[in-house]
Amino acid sequence: MTMVSRLPGAQTHHWDWQLEGSCRTVGSEVFFRPASEGRAEARRREEAAKRVCAGCPVRLECRRHALATREPYGVWGGLTEDERRALLVRREPEAVMPRAA
Protein backbone atom coordinates (compact mmCIF):
# COMPACT_ATOMS: atom_id res chain seq x y z
CA MET A 1 0.00 0.00 0.00
CA THR A 2 1.26 3.50 -0.87
CA MET A 3 2.15 5.69 2.06
CA VAL A 4 0.35 8.87 1.07
CA SER A 5 2.35 10.91 3.55
CA ARG A 6 5.49 10.16 1.53
CA LEU A 7 4.05 11.37 -1.79
CA PRO A 8 5.09 14.80 -3.02
CA GLY A 9 2.55 17.57 -2.70
CA ALA A 10 0.80 19.24 -5.58
CA GLN A 11 3.18 20.49 -8.26
CA THR A 12 1.06 23.49 -9.25
CA HIS A 13 4.10 25.75 -9.48
CA HIS A 14 4.83 24.03 -12.81
CA TRP A 15 1.50 25.19 -14.25
CA ASP A 16 0.46 28.33 -12.37
CA TRP A 17 1.88 30.53 -15.13
CA GLN A 18 -1.08 29.49 -17.30
CA LEU A 19 -3.42 31.44 -15.03
CA GLU A 20 -1.72 34.66 -16.14
CA GLY A 21 -1.91 34.03 -19.90
CA SER A 22 -3.45 36.72 -22.09
CA CYS A 23 -5.01 33.90 -24.12
CA ARG A 24 -7.45 33.22 -21.29
CA THR A 25 -9.52 36.20 -22.47
CA VAL A 26 -9.61 35.07 -26.12
CA GLY A 27 -11.36 32.10 -27.68
CA SER A 28 -9.21 29.06 -28.50
CA GLU A 29 -10.21 29.35 -32.17
CA VAL A 30 -7.65 32.16 -32.48
CA PHE A 31 -4.82 29.79 -31.53
CA PHE A 32 -5.85 26.51 -33.17
CA ARG A 33 -6.48 25.82 -36.86
CA PRO A 34 -9.85 24.42 -37.92
CA ALA A 35 -9.67 21.58 -40.47
CA SER A 36 -11.29 23.67 -43.22
CA GLU A 37 -8.98 26.69 -42.91
CA GLY A 38 -7.14 27.91 -46.03
CA ARG A 39 -3.62 29.38 -46.12
CA ALA A 40 -4.69 33.04 -46.19
CA GLU A 41 -7.12 32.49 -43.32
CA ALA A 42 -4.43 30.63 -41.37
CA ARG A 43 -1.98 33.52 -41.76
CA ARG A 44 -4.56 36.04 -40.52
CA ARG A 45 -5.53 33.85 -37.57
CA GLU A 46 -1.90 33.19 -36.64
CA GLU A 47 -1.06 36.90 -36.79
CA ALA A 48 -4.04 37.64 -34.53
CA ALA A 49 -2.81 34.98 -32.08
CA LYS A 50 0.72 36.39 -32.17
CA ARG A 51 -0.64 39.86 -31.34
CA VAL A 52 -2.24 38.39 -28.21
CA CYS A 53 1.01 36.62 -27.34
CA ALA A 54 3.13 39.73 -27.92
CA GLY A 55 1.74 41.45 -24.83
CA CYS A 56 1.41 38.35 -22.69
CA PRO A 57 3.23 38.41 -19.34
CA VAL A 58 3.93 34.64 -19.50
CA ARG A 59 4.87 34.38 -23.19
CA LEU A 60 8.31 32.90 -22.49
CA GLU A 61 6.99 30.33 -20.02
CA CYS A 62 4.38 29.33 -22.58
CA ARG A 63 7.03 29.05 -25.30
CA ARG A 64 9.27 26.95 -23.05
CA HIS A 65 6.38 24.63 -22.28
CA ALA A 66 5.42 24.20 -25.95
CA LEU A 67 9.01 23.48 -26.97
CA ALA A 68 9.70 21.14 -24.05
CA THR A 69 6.54 19.11 -24.63
CA ARG A 70 6.79 19.41 -28.43
CA GLU A 71 3.25 20.75 -28.57
CA PRO A 72 2.09 19.71 -32.06
CA TYR A 73 -0.77 22.17 -32.59
CA GLY A 74 -1.56 25.85 -32.29
CA VAL A 75 0.20 29.08 -31.50
CA TRP A 76 2.03 28.92 -28.16
CA GLY A 77 4.29 31.64 -26.80
CA GLY A 78 3.98 33.54 -30.06
CA LEU A 79 5.19 30.67 -32.23
CA THR A 80 3.25 28.54 -34.70
CA GLU A 81 3.71 24.78 -34.85
CA ASP A 82 5.94 25.19 -37.94
CA GLU A 83 8.09 27.81 -36.22
CA ARG A 84 8.51 25.61 -33.15
CA ARG A 85 9.39 22.61 -35.28
CA ALA A 86 12.04 24.64 -37.14
CA LEU A 87 13.56 25.84 -33.87
CA LEU A 88 13.74 22.34 -32.49
CA VAL A 89 15.42 21.07 -35.65
CA ARG A 90 18.00 23.87 -35.67
CA ARG A 91 18.46 23.79 -31.90
CA GLU A 92 19.48 27.41 -31.73
CA PRO A 93 19.17 28.28 -28.03
CA GLU A 94 19.04 32.04 -28.64
CA ALA A 95 16.25 31.64 -31.20
CA VAL A 96 14.31 29.30 -28.92
CA MET A 97 14.66 31.40 -25.80
CA PRO A 98 15.56 35.04 -26.42
CA ARG A 99 17.37 36.77 -23.62
CA ALA A 100 15.27 38.84 -21.30
CA ALA A 101 15.48 42.53 -22.10
Binding site as annotated, residues for [4Fe-4S] cluster: 23, 53, 56, 62
In this structure, are residues 21 and 56 in contact, taking their beta carbons and an 8 Å threshold?
yes
Q: Which residues contact 50 (CB under 8 A, 6 or more apart)?
A: 75, 78
Annotated binding site: 23, 53, 56, 62
Phi, psi of 50 (to 5 degrees): -65, -30
